[in-house]
Amino acid sequence: MKNKKFKGISTTTLHTANKENDNFSHTTPIYATSTFTFDSTNEGMERFLGKDKTRIYSRWGNPTFVAAEKTIEALEAHGLTNEKGEPLELKALLHSSGQAAMSTLFLSNLSAGDTLVSHFSLYGGTQELMQKILAEAGIKTILMDVRDLKSLEKTIQENTGIKLIHLETPANPTLQCVDIEAICTLSHKHGIKVSVDNTVATPYLQQPFALGADFVFHSATKFLNGHGSALNGVLLGKDLAFMQAKVWKWHVLLGGNSNAFDSYLLIQGMKTLEIRMDRHCSNAAKVAAFLDKHPAIEKVNYTGLASHPDHAIAKKQMKQHAPLISFELKGGIEAGKKFIDALEVCTRAVSLGTVDTLVSHPASMTHYGIPREERIKYGITDGLIRMSVGIENFEDLESDLTQALAKI
């Protein structure tokens, strides 16, 4: 299937996934099947030998997964060209979760004896995967402040086994941002590949392939799905031969495939990505401004505030500031607990990127598995509260925050 290129993001998310069926269904059918039939042994052999192995066995691929993959490829490649000036072609592989896609990314690029470098502020699950699973497989991880390019270059020169630099920008939950383009230029000079976790920004706000990235990762569970209705992860690459020969093999043999129902929910969710993000982003700017001038609040982390240390990088590489905020109350952890318990509109839950506002406490929830001294060093203090700003009417968020802050 040749995908049309559309001028806008919403047209892309509405019209890319729609052709994976032959029964005139308006929405993408849920192909609830483990296997696919062959009319003859010859046809079976042809499908096995062919390039497209998505109609053989669902661990290898399935038309519903393909429809979601095509949409995400179109989003990450939107408006971009390759070195020859042709539209950029990407390969996306849909996984059962972000963690599954991340496992495929790391294990297909690294083997025992290799080293991975990453910025020290990371999603908790990513850091645990590096330090608990990769470490046992003989893959070393160096966590450092990669915003310091001089010290990154020194690290590269001193460690010959570095094969991959993994970036998460903006990082969850500190909102620290790293300069994707500068790091790609430096890494490529040393023959090192770069992967970018684009979960918090989404392809609507930031396109890492335009800045030189080799791989892009999403927990599609978050803003891409947008409604908190399913888990999915996606790994995209621009080296199509490497994706087909190597990454696909790891994906299929590790068994991290998605399922048709969650893929369907993702496809439906992505249709409103652009209009959701515009509202998420404008609400987040208003919430951050409100929190920033509130007397009970010590500090607000939001890349849209000029006081955020990475404000300039965020502005340079994102179209708008991502709708994730974290903040600390002057009263520390006790005040934080009272505040969270007093909320009446915002939802108390981990995860992010759902249409409603989610509030969580990283130290006791998402980053519980990271040793205390370590997480404090990375900016995840005991009293830090994280807010994924939803698309509610701002007036309701403002009155909820006002009443909850009055109770601490």
Residues taking part in catalysis: 59, 123, 197, 222
For residue 16, state whether it binds ligand PLP (rule: CB under 6 A).
no
Distance from the Cα of residue 103 to its chain's centroid:
14
**Contact pick of 29, 44, 125, 309 for ligand PLP (by CB under 6 A):** 125
Which are the contacts of 229, defined by CB distance < 8 A and separation ≥ 6?
265, 269
Tokens 């006002």 sit at which residue? 402
Per-residue contact flags (x/-) with ligand PLP for residues 28 to 67, judged by CB under 6 A: ----------------------------------------
Taking CB under 6 A as the binding criterion, the range among 26-34, 80-88, 127-135, 193-201 that sits at the site for ligand PLP is: 193-201
CA distances (Å), 59 to each of 55, 184, 279, in order?
10, 33, 36
Tell which residue, 203, 222, 211, has the closest CA to residue 180: 211
Residue ranges in 69-98 that form contacts with ligand PLP under rule CB under 6 A: 97-98
Kindly state the smallest distance separating residue 177's Cβ from ligand PLP, in Å. 13
Sign of CA dihedral 137, 142, 146, 152: negative
Per-residue contact flags (x/-) with ligand PLP for residues 347 to 376, judged by CB under 6 A: -----x------------------------
Instruction: For residues 162 and 152, give the distance between their C-alpha atoms in angstroms, rounded to a whole number.
Output: 11
* Residue 372 amino acid letter: R
Complex with ligand PLP: residue 128 or 374, whichever CB lies closer: 128
Instruction: For residues 122 and 141, give the distance between their C-alpha atoms in angstroms, rounded to a whole number.
Output: 13
For residue 221, state whether it binds ligand PLP (rule: CB under 6 A).
yes
Instruction: For residues 153 and 167, give the distance between their C-alpha atoms in angstroms, rounded to a whole number.
Output: 15
**Contact pick of 164, 205, 231, 358 for ligand PLP (by CB under 6 A):** 231
Taking CB under 6 A as the binding criterion, the range among 218-226, 253-261, 299-307, 368-376 that sits at the site for ligand PLP is: 218-226
Q: Which residues pair with 93 in a beta bridge?
A: 235
Helix (H, G, I), strand (E, B) or coil at 270: helix
Kindly state the smallest distance separating residue 324's Cβ from ligand PLP, in Å. 9
Kindly state the smallest distance separating residue 351's Cβ from ligand PLP, in Å. 7
H helices of 179-331, in order, are: 180-189, 202-205, 240-242, 248-254, 260-270, 273-292, 311-317
For residue 170, state whether it binds ligand PLP (rule: CB under 6 A).
no
Size of the site for ligand PLP (CB under 6 A): 17
Kindly state the smallest distance separating residue 223's Cβ from ligand PLP, in Å. 9
Which are the contacts of 161, defined by CB distance < 8 A and separation ≥ 6?
113, 114, 115, 140
For residue 251, state whether it binds ligand PLP (rule: CB under 6 A).
no
* Binding residues for ligand PLP (CB under 6 A): 97-99, 123, 125-126, 168, 172, 197, 199-200, 219, 221-222, 231, 233, 352
